[in-house]
Amino acid sequence: MKKLFLTIILCSYLFANSQSTFTSANYASGNYSIPMSSVSTILSSDNFDTTGANVTWDYSNLGSDANTSRYTVTPAASGYQATYIAQCILGGGGFTCLTKWNGLTNVGVVDLDSLDAFVFTLFDVMTMAKNANNRLIGNIKGLKIIDSTGISIPIVAEYSSPDTILKFPFTYQDSGSSFGAWGLDLSSIGQNIQYKVTYDRKWKVEGWGTLITPYQTHNNVLKVKTTLDQVDSVVFFSTPLGLPRKIIEYTWYDATFGLPVMKAEGLEAVGLTTINSVLYYDTRVAGINEEKEDADLTIYPNPVTETLNITSKVNTKMSYEIIDIEGKTVVQKSTKQSIEVAHLAAGIYFVKSTNEENNNIQVLKFIKQ
């Protein structure tokens, strides 16, 4: 009986201590990027609802529609700091605006490439957050809108109700909730539109175990389910429109990575959840996310303020162009291996190299400060 009791105690101890814990120090900071594959087709046969302890989530048969990345940036490199400060000064903030910005954010977290907001589309959607006191709190939303002339205009919205996205440290069966609200009044840029987002956030660490994706196995992950009861509302030329929806996010955290190594997102209706997009860590993706020591193309410094230098190991004449995060070429093709970027706005850009046969060799990401 004594041996049995000791065995039970030992097993309980090993079980409790085999689970992963994700802390605020594990979460990404500064300029951090993780290469991902995205898939949005043939997801109905995959089960993303499995919960529990010591689970194996096998998604090795997931397809891949495109290569992408998820990343964080420093607040100064987000492309929204100057806009926030200018807006703050116009609102009477004066010399305190930079201090206020620094107090509200120490990391910029990419949300979406684009957001359909009824009568207009927002691009380069980013949450400027504060990771402090064991909480990740969303305080400012950064977005871009294309005006009637085709020019991309950065806009910012300070949360009227800051959103506690996560509490650290978290492990299996931990949970939390918060309320978030932010909105935009686009009359200042000639658009008679007011847009507002409000939501109740609930999250729970509903599983831990092993995650298998097509190109990687993560042996000790935490699965977090987040539910957003969200209402998107817009007033367009005095006509109010509203869309309530329940957004479901499943995210898998590996403590050796600063961002989730997999994310499945969809909508819940009448008690049924339909997943419509999945992102997962893809070890094949190199170039736009990270530089390898044996890469044909390297760039420095990164981040950069004035001159971006390019080193190529390819024994042929190369040309280079710089592309912004929306896919627009902002510096035309050049054969020079030193490119002036001082005139570019702070933010994320890509260098694309092409050989004489017009074949793309490599694409690398850099931060313009």
Cβ atoms of 185 and 145 within 8 Å: the answer is no
pLDDT mean across residues, the chain: 84
Higher pLDDT, 356 or 68: 68
pLDDT tier for residue 11 given thresholds of 50, 70 and 90: very low
Average pLDDT score over residue span 106-124: 78
Average pLDDT score over residue span 125-135: 95
How many CB atoms within 10 Å of residue 126? 26
Q: What percent of the chain has pLDDT over 90?
A: 43
User: Can you give the pLDDT at residue 289?
Assistant: 38
Span 146-171, pLDDT tens digits: 766 667 788 999 999 999 999 999 99
pLDDT above 80 (res 131):
yes
Spell out a b/e string for 314-330, using b for 16 or more CB atoms within 10 Å of the CB, else e. Answer: eeeebebbbbbbeeeeb
For 275, the token pair is: 């997943």
Tell me how many degrees the CA angle 175-179-185 measures, rounded to the nearest 5: 150
DSSP-derived letter for residue 148 is: T
pLDDT tier for residue 227 given thresholds of 50, 70 and 90: very high
Q: Identify how many contiguous H helices and E strands the chain contains and give both numbers.
A: 3, 20
Q: Which residue ranges form the domains of the chain, and what is each CATH number?
A: 21-281 (no CATH), 297-368 (2.60.40.10)
User: Can you give the pLDDT at residue 268?
Assistant: 94
